[in-house]
Amino acid sequence: TQLLEQSPQFLSIQEGENLTVYCNSSSVFSSLQWYRQEPGEGPVLLVTVVTGGEVKKLKRLTFQFGDARKDSSLHITAAQPGDTGLYLCAVDNYGQNFVFGPGTRLSVLP
């Protein structure tokens, strides 16, 4: 059983479109991170969300942590080809281990 689920698994859209990807779990977490991984590279941190209901914005990216701290969403406005990559959510399972979700593979076509 996956601790974290991400949806959709794959997403291919045209430049300029908006999109939302999701990270879900049945467990409650103290905080959650989103990373982006480009081909041939390691993941790079985008944001950490800590408080239930918290919303953070990073340019065209909007991150939200669910009120119950079991889920999170990432919304991208006016996607660009540079947004292409694998989007991973990650949680610290109360010090037991560090878990990444399976990821959403996004392709933005020019």
Count of residues that interact with other proteins, criterion CB under 8 A? 23
Q: Is 55 in the site for other proteins (CB under 8 A)?
A: no
By CB under 8 A, the residues from 12 to 51 that bind other proteins are: 30-33, 40-45, 48
Nearest CA among 10, 60, 7, 51 for reference residue 32 = 51
Of 17-25, 51-59, 71-79, 88-96, which part binds other proteins (CB under 8 A)?
Answer: 88-96
Q: Rounded distance, CA 45 to CA 27, Å?
A: 22
Task: Enumerate residues 6+ apart whose C-beta is below 8 A from 5.
Answer: 23, 24, 25, 101, 102
Q: Is 103 in the site for other proteins (CB under 8 A)?
A: yes
Q: By CB under 8 A, name the binding residues for other proteins.
A: 30-33, 40-45, 48, 88, 91-92, 95-103
